[in-house]
Structure 1
Amino acid sequence: MTLDLDAYFARIGWTGERRPTLEVLRSVHRAHMLGIPFENLDPVRGSAPSLALEDLEAKLVRGDRGGYCYEHNTLFAAVLTQLGFDVTLLAARVVLGAAPGDIRPRTHMLMEVEVEDEPAPYLADVGFGASGALLEPIPLVADIELHDTPRHHRLVHAPHVGPLEMWELQTEKSGVWEPQYVFTREPFEAPDYEVINWHVATDPRSPFSRAVYAQRTTPLAHLALSGLDLVETAADGTVKERQLADSAEVLRVLADDFAIRLPEGTRLPE
């Protein structure tokens, strides 16, 4: 399937020359992050979201909805491919919030993008549902820092037993580098994500099947909803928190603050 790039670019508010250049990669990545929210409303309501491109276009581009990492990054990889970029899909272990010694499975989707005349490929990821997510792609070079304002990132090599180098994405918060996820450059294919997507969406132990998670990045703030807890982080790091009353208020906040439109009569599990 060929995506409707006109509709996609209108959705994220991007205009520019459609060529596979670094500036295009950076600006489209940021526009996607600002234009389409993160949400897991399909899994929490009992279904695994489709990763078919026609369904992603209907939901994320035309349907005033968001998605989680497999949806965002499957869509974004298809966009980049149509623009002429060479894209390799990868998988990461999320270490953000993990206890010491805790080994999580590789359940996060991301991608490596080759850019003509650039000495190193770039790591691109528009589907990480956290305030430490990349706003722009970062060169796949150890210890080089990216100031994707208002955020600050770097990639470092992490200790690892195996034939491939382990990379760790970190974000700087209050002067401390906070690990987000680790990955190797082993290519993954679409069927791999179909299996991971099904597990993450339907396993009763998965956090994505048990509670609503939503994230929205704006030029001025980052909004994060986890269950009934709503956190707003301003660009200067100021944090405001409040607890929502019930699922009805969650639906109102999703519509008003996250710009996520659900069909009339939609209910969420209590």
Structure 2
Amino acid sequence: MDKLSKLFLHRIGVPTTENVTFENLSSILEKTAREIPFENLCVIKNRTTDITKENLVNKILNRNEGGLCYELNTIFYLFLVENGFNANLFQGVTSDPINQQWSKTGRTHVVIIITYNAQQYLVDTGFGGNLPLKPVPLNGDTVKSSNGEFRVEKTNHEYGDYVLYMKLKHKHDDWKLGYAFDTTKVVKNLSELNEVQKIILEHPASRFNKKPLVTRLTERGNIILTDTSFTEWIDGKVQTKEIDKTMFNELIKGNFGMDADILESNKKGGHGNETI
């Protein structure tokens, strides 16, 4: 097992002796969603770096931080490849589930497609609280997990040839549009994702360059931290409390395992809104 795989399994609390197979991929996806937060602090704190294997390992596996989709799904893709999976990265466009409008930032969502036994599956660890937690087949079958129901349908859309639909547990009564993605345009080099990061950093419509956001799934829901509030979803019930900077620092360490002092000292070189 290569170094990245060992570090990744250690990060999510899985023995490094465990074999990573398609059969236990759902378990690994759940552990990843609960241990590695979806967060935009590197964007807010002006310390983004180029999207490379080395930089992602350092940020997510060594410094115990999280990231946005182009970071989380990329490092998971590298993890899958190291473990013998037939995997590729693709770009997509997200939809606002409230007003069902496509993101004005364009193709800035990054997803993974794996092929197993001649069947293609969508894998996503970078969609905030909307994670399927299981590989979703591209044949239209519905997948059920602890986070809800998910399906992928073939389509002929300006943003891609497939669309993800979701019905989140305790949150959605009907199917909601998640995003469209294009399987005809594979990401051939990680450097292509630097443009995605640049758009997230600079685009006025970007949801992630305006205020801090840190979120992860829990066994009974999810937690969401911003600079002004801490929200907990527990078995479909939501509680939100207002916070200040001191409480933010305490909550990010206690609930996400991230050290606010380290985050401040690691400033490198970007900008930063709402929960997912």
What TM-score do the two structures reach when normalised by structure 1? Answer: 0.85
User: For the residues of structure 1 that align with 2:123 and 2:262, how far apart are their CA atoms?
Assistant: 35
Give the % identical residues.
23
Q: CA RMSD in A?
A: 2.7
Within-5 A mapping of 1:60-79: 60-79=60-79
Pick closer, same or farther for the CA change 1:66–1:159 going to 2, 3 Å: same
Unmatched 5+ residue regions in structure 2? 272-276
Deviation per CA, 1:141-171: give whole Å up to 9, x if none.
Answer: 21x1111124222223456258x63323323
**Corresponding residue SS for 2:183:** coil
**Corresponding residue SS for 1:136:** coil
User: For the residues of structure 1 that align with 2:217 and 2:103, how far apart are their CA atoms?
Assistant: 29
Unmatched 5+ residue regions in structure 1? none
User: For the residues of structure 1 that align with 2:101 and 2:13, how far apart are their CA atoms?
Assistant: 42
> What amino acid does structure 2 have at the position aligned with 1:169?
Y
Deviation per CA, 1:218-237: give whole Å up to 9, x if none.
Answer: 21220122442322112x21
Deviation per CA, 1:162-192: give whole Å up to 9, x if none.
Answer: 8x63323323444311222111212123232
Q: Size of the alignment, in residue pairs?
A: 261
**Alpha-carbon shift at residue 209 of structure 1 (Å):** 1.8
User: For the residues of structure 2 that align with 1:169 and 1:38, how far apart are their CA atoms?
Assistant: 20
User: For the residues of structure 2 that align with 1:158 and 1:232, how far apart are their CA atoms?
Assistant: 35
Within-5 A mapping of 1:120-269: 120-129=119-128, 131-142=129-140, 144-158=141-155, 160-161=157-158, 165-172=161-168, 173-186=171-184, 187-189=186-188, 190-203=190-203, 205-234=205-234, 236-244=235-243, 246-263=244-261, 266=264
User: For the residues of structure 2 that align with 1:83 and 1:146, how far apart are their CA atoms?
Assistant: 24
Q: Does 1:111 align with 2:112?
A: yes
Deviation per CA, 1:107-159: give whole Å up to 9, x if none.
Answer: 111110112x3x42111111112x222212211121x1111124222223456
> What amino acid does structure 1 have at the position aligned with 2:181?
F
What TM-score do the two structures reach when normalised by structure 2? Answer: 0.84
Whether the aligned pair in 2 keeps the contact of 1:215 and 1:222 (CA below 8 Å) is: yes
**Corresponding residue SS for 2:42:** helix
Deviation per CA, 1:66-115: give whole Å up to 9, x if none.
Answer: 11111111111111000001111111111024645555311111110112
